[in-house]
Amino acid sequence: MALLEGKVAIITGAGSGIGRAAAHRFAAEGAKLVLGDKSEAVHDVAREVIAAGGNAIAFTVDAGVEADVETLVRNAMDVHGGLDVAFANAGIIGDMGGIFDIDPAKWAETLRVNLIGPALMVKHAGKAMVDQGRGGAIVLTASVAGLNSGAGPAAYSASKAGVINLARVSAQQLTSSGVRVNGICPGLTETGMTKPTFDYAKDKGVTHKIGQLNPLKRAAQPEELANVALFLASDLASYVNGQAIAVDGGLTSSHPVTRQLLGQTAH
């Protein structure tokens, strides 16, 4: 049996990148999808899923607006009669300023989308799952930038640190409900959000340096993050709860070092 056979799943940020990859992956595993994104491209993704034999409906929404999150949950319940999985994946890079350049309005917007959005998904999808009484899985996209400094600008990093703790707090507050809440922490992944980084590397002829700080020496592809989200959404992760899993090629497995030991002779 497919991993999500007969299950209903919401995915936000589904118009591109990790969300699009997750839509295809979840659908291939039997899920009925309710897709949301601020971009009209989400409708193209739904059509792609349907053309491949899957089941999907799409909505142009802002994942940081409560009424829009409610729309996704309500349609999952009304159209498909239930909700089993919610993947709160939508996010923005947001304010690029440093700590001495804090713009409260720009920070508020970054937090609205990246942190309040997932919190609203926990609120509404979690409540729907609890009321059903059959458990469920909520997956939140955080980032390695939420684990350590150096992987993103200040506002983005702070928002993603909040997502990590949101997963932990939510898992505890949903005790005995059977609803699990976990986060994934992508490292550098080739998506629309990171396109400027990849374009810059191509223009400068230094694509070989992308991902050089992690042991795998490369960036991730969206499908690799979608696979981990699928695991957390499925019953394979039935005893995984309140965790933030780094999917970063090993980037966060070490403190910064000045040299590699591999291939060197110890003295």
- The phi and psi torsions of 80 (rounded to 5 degrees) equal -110, -5
Tell me whether residue 156 is one of the annotated catalytic residues. yes
Q: Catalytic one among 156, 159, 163, 248?
A: 156
Enzyme catalytic residues: 156
